[in-house]
Structure 1
Amino acid sequence: MTKIFFLGECMVELRELDDSTMGHSFAGDVYNSAVYMKRCFPTITVSMITAIGRDRLSEKMLSRFKSEDLDTQFVFQHPSKVAGMYFIETDSAGERRFTYWRNDSAAKKVVQFLTDDVVEQLTAADMFFFSGIPLAIIDEDSRDAFWQKLARLKQAGVKLVFDPNYRAQLWASKDAAIEQFNKAFQISDIALPGVEDLSVLYGIASAEEALDFCQQYQLEEMVVKNGPQSVVTQIGTERHSHQITPVTNVVDTTSAGDAFNGVYLGARLSGRSVFEAVQLGAKAAGTVIQHPGAIAPLAAFKQAMSEVGI
């Protein structure tokens, strides 16, 4: 059975419903990708690796994982920490602004739960996905141990997938982020960078430059996302530019790249070609941004994906 692990942080998402009322849901870049993969490819075992608390919201979060058919064997509950939280606002163009409360987030402690026995169980996976956000939030004194655990997975034949999702406010400095991102690129087999993230960190201005930059790491598969303009891929020496049809009804751009990542990887794990995987990922991203919040309504999402045979 095909299996993938997503390591990262899921947070409580707050959104204003009216002047006096807030609604909440759950979101986080790797969690979003996991949800969209599972919705499109239900035969893949999709597992979350994270730490949450024992508070009421953490319990509701765990229930939400299960309702999305995600495997929760490695969702650990910290005895004293809680789930992180953020408030999201969107402007008329669907662009986002976030306010975070994550200083006491249990997900910062996830590495301490990755014992030798747990890592041995993770070697049964086909893929292991992580992003720049868990790299930023895990305790600094746990990072060396994190890289050692990933090296064990790679040695066991697990494909490591990295999305360099950069959030400046999570890092002490740009240099600190670059150091960790370089290590991630070096150990990974597949990279899914966005031009915007690499532009800020490395001064890269185009998808082609991003692929040229990634060449130094001898990655097996590179997929560069450039917003609504295009997706550029390189497998071995074969480089292709895939045109994307822009969506006109943009409500909220939250999670567009996450949806692309999850559906693209699900398609590749299911034996689809790179061209098919990009088109399916783009359809997922284009669907998600037409709905508020990171997780689109199940019925609307499945209806849209059925139009492309998923």
Structure 2
Amino acid sequence: MNTHPHIALIGECMIELQHRADGSLHQSFGGDTLNTAVYLRRELGEVGSVDYVTALGDDSFSDAMCEHWHAEGLGLGMVQRLPGRLPGLYCIQTDAQGERKFLYWRNEAAVRDCFTTPAAEPVLAALPCYDVVYFSGITLAVLGDIGRERLLQALIEARRRGAKVVFDNNYRPRLWADVQTAREAYRRVLAEVDIALLTEDDERALFGYEDSEQVFAAYPSIAEVVLKRGADACLIRCAGERFAVPALKVEKVVDTTAAGDSFSAAYLASRLKGGSPQEAALAGHRLASRVIQVPGALIPR
């Protein structure tokens, strides 16, 4: 891998409203791949560059997002600003155990046209030039049929040029018309993936796999498969070897938002810096254990 990797993360950032116990709302920003991009940038330190690929509106919230991303060190050259459009919005409600419930307003979000406008042409042309391209199941859902197809072609070209493609499954049923459409989309992109960061519960919900063995068996051609299992040990298959890396015990879970996103970021950062799969998984557990002790998706630096 390039010692100064050029990394692109593709997806959606939304306005985040956190519903607090006293009934007030705290406003910030979040989204699975954006969370991963921020944590990846932090974990990499001076190594490499991290660009976020998305579409926003020309409103004040979109302005604030870009200012925040710039402050975190993310590259904004692949962010489209679509006149008259708005970003999506979601609200987080958490219970006494820290488990969260999401309410979404995102059907008209600008990101849905991320790869369908004339402004998308240079973005799509640039994607195969990256060393690492990262996206998620939520990315697939919000891009729609045309956007997914154009992304797939960019991934194929990126791999042809030597890029590593990284995928986090993040399956959200409400974002899909039906489960069969989601399965078809996932299967097509999983054929072009080098590192799969999979949540076991999502694999069970989408494909009906009963256990980790079925998940691993489903992806014989993927070089590196990481199975995230919450508070249980994560399981890894890499270069023909299997590893189990226990999670870290957390006494007080405040908010599980971005637990998986942060794990993925720290795992990938460690691997890009030459860490073993076991070292990378431990780094992922360490960061995730900190994230779930703080409200919201992004903890303070």
Check the 8 A contact 2:124/2:151 in 1, yes or no: no
Aligned match of 1:86 in 90, 111, 119? 90
Specify the alignment match of 2:12 in structure 1. 9
Aligned match of 1:263 in 244, 266, 277? 266
Check the 8 A contact 1:162/1:192 in 2, yes or no: yes
Specify the alignment match of 1:39 in structure 2. 42
Q: Which residue identity is paired with 2:86?
A: V
Deviation at 1:186, TM superposition (A): 0.7
Moved more, 85-94 or 149-158: 149-158
Specify the alignment match of 2:27 in structure 1. 24
Q: Does 1:159 align with 2:164?
A: yes
Q: Which residue identity is paired with 1:231?
A: C
Q: Which residue identity is paired with 1:204?
A: Y
Distance 2:21 2:226 in 1: 39
Q: Give structure 2 stretches of 5+ with no counterpart.
A: none
Specify whether residues 51 and 24 from structure 1 end up closer, same or farther in structure 2 by C-alpha distance, changes over 3 A only.
Answer: same
Distance 1:41 1:68 in 2: 12
Q: Does 1:197 align with 2:207?
A: no
Deviation at 1:3, TM superposition (A): 1.5
Specify whether residues 129 and 34 from structure 1 end up closer, same or farther in structure 2 by C-alpha distance, changes over 3 A only.
Answer: same
Aligned-residue Cα RMSD (Å) equals 1.5
Distance 1:109 1:120 in 2: 16
Aligned match of 1:131 in 126, 136, 141? 136
Distance 1:247 1:207 in 2: 24
* Post-superposition CA distance 1:74-121 (Å, at most 9, x none): 011011221100011000011111111101101111113574543343
Aligned match of 1:210 in 194, 207, 215? 215
Aligned match of 1:109 in 113, 129, 143? 113
Specify the alignment match of 2:279 in structure 1. 276
Which stretches of structure 1, 4 residues or more, deviate above 6 A after TM superposition?
none
User: What's the TM-score once normalised by structure 1's chain length?
Assistant: 0.92
Check the 8 A contact 1:119/1:153 in 2, yes or no: no
Specify whether residues 105 and 179 from structure 1 end up closer, same or farther in structure 2 by C-alpha distance, changes over 3 A only.
Answer: same
Deviation at 1:28, TM superposition (A): 0.4
Give aligned pairs, total: 296
User: What SS does the aligned partner of 2:205 have?
Assistant: helix
Q: Which residue identity is paired with 1:95?
A: E
Aligned match of 2:193 in 183, 188, 206? 188
User: What SS does the aligned partner of 2:129 have?
Assistant: coil
User: What's the TM-score once normalised by structure 2's chain length?
Assistant: 0.94
Q: Which residue identity is paired with 1:227?
A: G
Deviation at 1:164, TM superposition (A): 0.9
Identity of aligned residues (%): 36
